[in-house]
Structure 1
């Protein structure tokens, strides 16, 4: 499944923008990787980021990380 990407505003990484199940916007790493717990699901024409519990994520290779976790500049975007 191919998703449009955009450059992170803080680092050179490419991200996929998705909406969480609670309706918040979330940047997600483009490439799946070890430790990933975010599944991208297309629902009703919208890309949704679904957080997969650890016991269901074990061994899966299709899960990505939230870019809030992997971005070296994430702290500058956190709300105080």
Structure 2
């Protein structure tokens, strides 16, 4: 069970956690940690922040999540450039 507030993705209805990247952009993150994830959720300055973990530090970790853009079938519709 996720320890952060979740909401359903408006496209695929999967549970996501909204976080802010280190560059200040909003990012949907899958609610549950999973092998192969590379996003660590942490609290910085009172804000839930999504930090991308370098590939060499990901192997075997079970506390990381994936960006929801990886899994959502409608991701391209929501991405901003």
TM-score by length of 1: 0.92
Deviations 1:8-51 (A, max 9, x none): 01111010000000000000000111210000001121100000
In structure 2, C-alpha distance between the alignment counterparts of 1:51 and 1:79, rounded to whole Å: 18
Q: Give the alignment of 1:1-80 within 5 angstroms.
A: 2-79=3-80
CA distance in 2, matches of 1:78, 1:18: 15
Q: Which runs of 5+ in 1 are unaligned?
A: none
Number of aligned residues: 80
Give the alignment's TM-score, normalised by structure 2.
0.91
Shift of 1:79: 3.7
Q: Structure 2: which 5+ residue stretches go unaligned?
A: none
- Aligned counterparts of 2:15 and 2:68: Cα–Cα separation in 1: 9
Distance in 2 between residues matched to 1:63 and 1:6, nearest whole Å: 19
